[in-house]
Amino acid sequence: MIDLVIIGAGPAGLGAAISAAENGLEVYILDEFVKPGGRLLGQLHEEPDGKWVNGIAEAEKLYKRAIQLGVNIRCGVSVYDLMKLDQGWCVYTTDNVMECKCLLLATGASETPIPIPGWTLPGVMSIGAAQVMGNVHRVKPGKKGIIIGVNVLSAAIARELQLCGVHIESILLPQPNLLSGDAANPEKMMESLLRLSHLAPSALIRFGGKWVSPKLGARLYPKNGFKMWDIPIQLRKSALEILGEKQVEGVRVAEITANGEVVSGTEKVVSVDFVCIAGGLAPLSELAAVAGCSFRFVPELGGHVPLHNEYMQTNLTGLYVAGNITGVESAKVARAQGTAAGLSIARELNALADHADEKIEAAIMEVMETRKNALIQFQPGIEEARKKLYSEFYETSEKASMI
């Protein structure tokens, strides 16, 4: 029986594979995509100190280290079911059936859609899809596009598309309706934008981030938006409908008040050949659900997450989680979580030699440090939400052991 199977070859999965293999475990990684690296493959940004972070190079480094340690990495393989065995787990893949002592789910996150009239037209895609087209496949999603949804992800990817030579007309809000919720509210979006302000190349926005209250910011927001990297971010404009006969030809937009109400008489059509929808990210936990994990709904972490502790254990023996399946955070945090998970698994399999506990505690400290130093906070209150989640884990496991 294999020691450890990891599902997902992103920063968390590769990080875990490295720390587990360094302690002598036999490790397999499976990934649905054709290349290892997960969401690292899409990343390209400039840090405040002027250094460029190239996710493809980061992924390559992790991949090489894992291969050096004898980790087996299989890409283009999907896992469609999991089953608990007396001792370990059975993993059903599109290639074969594997049995392992421990299983780590590092499946990452998926994008949340925002439905808008016309969103099923060819040429409409999620913001992540545009990122993969540009940065991974080197294909332009179009010549001129609009991004619907103002958030951390859409601003970062707009910049990447610009570097690919694609013109981004603007980033604006979705139409206020039953499903768009906060995403259509200028005040709430101002709040989210201010969490990004320290990354902005414009000193004006950086400075603004320090003193502008979301309320004031939304009210005083210039009608034509302000620009980040020359891309207009328009918190007071909303996309009402995507237009086109056979494919995207334009977007009908209108001005909105600070509360998100459409101002009548301000509608106009902007012509574009593609549209990206940026609805944010949610942990991809379907395999944890079929495995039978307990769940908690934690909005700060992006939605439903499998109940787990800081050692990355779930409430099922031998089943671990790491990375964005545990909550949406940066790739650096995911990698640190992976390292902690790999060590915890090595300890469970009695492979962790001297100072086992110290090593694991150090890895957990590293996760917290990385979180504290993260450039981008996807949601406020992540640390508190995690503390609460871990204490619920111990409460429920105590209850279970008393029965």
Partner 1 sequence: MGDNETVICRCEEITLKEIKETIERYQCSAREVKLRTRAGMGPCGGRTCRCMIDRLVEQLGGPSISNEISLSYRPPVRPVSFGVLGGDVK
Tell which one of 51, 210, 265, 297 touches partner 1 (CB under 8 A): 297
Q: Closest CB to partner 1 among 18 and 277?
A: 277
Binding of partner 1 by 79 (CB under 8 A):
yes
- Residue 128 and residue 33 in contact, taking contact as beta carbons nearer than 8 Å: no
Binding of partner 1 by 378 (CB under 8 A):
no
Segment interacting with partner 1, rule: CB under 8 A, options 13-21, 54-62, 144-152, 289-297: 289-297
**Tokens encoding 11:** 């920063």
Does an H or E element contain 9, and which?
none
Nearby residues of 122 by Cβ (< 8 Å), 6 or more positions away: 246, 247, 248
Burial class (CB in 10 A: 0-12, 13-18, 19+), 60: middle
Binding of partner 1 by 22 (CB under 8 A):
no
Segment interacting with partner 1, rule: CB under 8 A, options 183-191, 291-299, 316-324, 339-347: 291-299
- DSSP annotation of 39 reads G
Q: How far is CA 212 from CA 72, 172, 191, 344, 376, in A?
A: 50, 20, 9, 44, 18
Tell which one of 34, 120, 358, 399 touches partner 1 (CB under 8 A): 120
Binding of partner 1 by 207 (CB under 8 A):
no
Segment interacting with partner 1, rule: CB under 8 A, options 63-71, 149-157, 280-288, 366-374: 280-288
Q: Closest CB to partner 1 among 200 and 287?
A: 287
Q: How far is CA 317 from CA 42, 301, 320, 397, in A?
A: 34, 24, 8, 12
Q: Closest CB to partner 1 among 115 and 208?
A: 115
Binding of partner 1 by 261 (CB under 8 A):
no
Q: If phi over 0 gives left and psi between -120 and 50 gives alpha, with beta otherwise, what is residue 8?
A: left
- Residue 29 and residue 14 in contact, taking contact as beta carbons nearer than 8 Å: yes
- Residue 334 and residue 10 in contact, taking contact as beta carbons nearer than 8 Å: yes
Binding of partner 1 by 286 (CB under 8 A):
yes
Binding of partner 1 by 289 (CB under 8 A):
yes
Give the x/- contact pattern for partner 1 in 166-195, rule: CB under 8 A.
---------x-xxx-x--------------
CB of 127 to partner 1, least distance (A): 15
Q: Closest CB to partner 1 among 110 and 377?
A: 110
User: How many Å apart are CA 61 and CA 366, to the nearest integer?
Assistant: 20
Give contact residues for partner 1 (rule: CB under 8 A). Answer: 32, 78-82, 92, 94-97, 110, 112-113, 115-120, 175, 177-179, 181, 241, 282, 286-287, 289-290, 294-297, 303-304
